[in-house]
Amino acid sequence: MTTGVANPAVNDAKRLARRQKLRIVKRRRRIVMWSVRLGSLAILLGIWQWYGSSVNPILFAPPTKIVHEFWILIGDGSLATALWQSVRVFLIGLGAAIIVGIPLALVWARYQIVDWAIQGYVNALYATPLVALVPLLILWFGFGLEAKAIIIFSFALFPLLINTYQGARSTERGLVEVAGSFGCSELQTWRHVIIPSAVPFIAAGLNLAVGRALVGMIIAEFYTSASGLGYMVLVSGNTFQTARMFVPIIVVMALGVLLLGATRTLKRKVSPWSEKEDRL
Amino acid sequence: MTAPGKNSTGASVVCRGVEKWFGELNVLDSVDFTIEPGAFVSVLGPSGCGKTTLMRAMGGLTGIDEGEILINGKPVNGPPREAAIVFQQFGLLPWKTMEDNIAFGLTIRGVGKKERAERVAHYIDLVHLTGFEKSYPYQVSGGMQQRAGLARALAVEPQLLLMDEPFASVDAMTREVLHDELLSIWERDRKTVVFITHSIDEAIVLSDDIFVMSRSPATVIARIPVEIARPRRERTVRALPQFSELREHCWDLLEHGGAQEAARS
């Protein structure tokens, strides 16, 4: 932070000592935090291990068995293959949603005619549980990679579309006026004011889109061709390999945590000003 | 009227029979005045009387329904190149650093990178923002934000500076400092300034002339010359006997204009 001017009257040594003290307090806090976290994890795993071993293995599996399955699936390369199949189709679908959704939303926000023409449909489709449309999409696009990408695309598109639209629409009028007063053309106003002001909304939309695209990915893999993590869940479940079923579930969970964390970090990075109110 | 210097860089402003309606509400009614190049004029009126609307019309941000506004003899039709506005809520772009905000008008007008950097550095120095070039507006105080707002307007080297209650949302102490800084900047290069305010004290301290406006539909009911020698500083101006006389005079006018609730500064 650059605010505040150094006061030469303050003793440098004193300030240094203070800083060191603060650092120690912070470190101690972090140690406590991680001890609690690891402790709670150990307790959770302990209970799981105890309970998982005491019931019918068709219904549940203890962590040790799941780890064992992990090793097998990593060893024969099937986990890596499934992960890559899933991630690839996920990235294609999400990427297409970004490439189509953001510009489309900007046009939508800019032209009143487009707004009148499409707003109703977009809102209706956003409200529709898209799972209901999956059989239809399969009918149209088959069972291949294409169909999966299109399912993921349709899941991810609407939050991006709606958030970008709202971001562009909620640009502060005063700032648009500032741009006008300095002689900004329409294009310059978009470049310097409206799009930057929509950026935090777009990042929030991306965060939502990632979550929905993951759901779309699993659903697509349940319903279409035999590949990916979703299929692995399905097959393990159908063949009562319960311990094995947990492997892709845990991988998808980790993928979700990772991607959502990444988009949240992205939001903070691209729009530090919008985080101001959130910070304490 | 204080006579402007021969080499004045200020624009002239003429309003003739200006009328403005918001739906069925008459906001401005037959506003007539002339501002000489290089004059510092305050438009003083009660809150909500339409003085901001008048400024927005001069800045080409809103149209008028009757009459005409001329800047250097040319009718205003969209934001005039000669003018720059300092906004009440600062109007800084939160995603740009202070220096990029100050450079904004220059970027828009296609000023080359090198000249832009030089001018920005000059105005940062002028408004005492050195050291905060890379800060974002949310990281600095309101007073500093308005300094950047002022520097941004000055950087395009306008002949007319339109200031819309620029110091209304900074604290009193900062306001006084900013008054003195504005005075010393203006006394150096005498651009034409139209300063919108609801503070009588502020109007007296800064201006050559005060246009007093009535309640809506607003019109200019008096033009009061402030014959206090320059260079001025707020504290010395406040100590003068003329200051309290002018203050009384303005209050009388505002009250007769139906402005019982006009805010004391």
Q: Over 90: is that where the pLDDT of B262 sits?
A: no
**A42 and A76 share a domain?**
no
Q: Do B93 and A178 touch (CB under 8 A)?
A: yes
Chain A CB contacts of B109 under 8 Å are 182-183
Residue A97 shares a structural domain with residue A76: yes
- Which ipTM did the prediction report? 0.87
Claim to verify: residue A71 and residue A50 sit in the same structural domain: no
Q: How many Cβ atoms are within 10 Å of B81's Cβ, its own excluded?
A: 16
The conformational region for residue B66 under phi > 0 = left, psi -120 to 50 = alpha, else beta, is beta
pLDDT at B189: 86
Sort B259 into a burial class: Cβ within 10 Å, 0-12 / 13-18 / 19+: buried
Classify residue A4: in a domain, yes or no. no
Q: Which of B58, B77, B85, B95 to mutate to test the interface with A (most CBs of A within 10 A)?
A: B95
* A192 shares its domain with A68: yes
Between chains, do A3 and B156 touch, taking CB under 8 Å as contact?
Answer: no
Contact of B216 with B25, CB cutoff 8 Å: yes
Is A3 an 8 Å CB contact of chain B?
A: yes
Chain B residue closest in CA terms to A187: B108
Give per-residue pLDDT as tens, A191-204: 999 999 999 999 99
Q: Which CATH superfamily is domain B22-82+160-240+254-260 in?
A: P-loop containing nucleotide triphosphate hydrolases (3.40.50.300)
What percent of chain A has pLDDT above 90?
Answer: 75
My answer on whether A127 and A232 are in the same domain is yes
Asked if B96 and B120 touch (Cβ cutoff 8 Å), the reply is: no
Whether residue A279 is contained in a domain is answered as no
Residues A183 and A89 in one domain: yes
* Residue of chain B with shortest Cα separation from A191: B108
Residues A220 and A139 in one domain: yes
Asked if A136 and A37 sit in the same domain, the reply is no
| Residue B4 confidence (pLDDT) above 50 | no
Host domain of residue A18? 11-54
Whether the pLDDT of residue A152 is over 60: the answer is yes
pLDDT reported for residue B257: 65
Domain range list for chain B: 22-82+160-240+254-260, 93-157
Closest CA relative to residue B158, chosen from B75, B37, B50, B77: B37
Q: Are residues A138 and A17 in the same domain?
A: no
CB neighbours of residue B91 within 10 Å: 26
Of A69, A72, A27, A65, the C-alpha closest to A48 is A65
pLDDT at A105: 95
Q: Are residues A213 and A254 in the same domain?
A: yes
Per-residue pLDDT at B184: 92
**Is the CB of residue A1 less than 8 Å away from at least one CB of chain B?**
yes
pLDDT (tens digit, 9 = 90+) per residue, B206-244? 999 999 999 878 899 999 999 999 999 999 999 999 999
- Per-residue pLDDT band at B85 (split at 50, 70, 90): very high
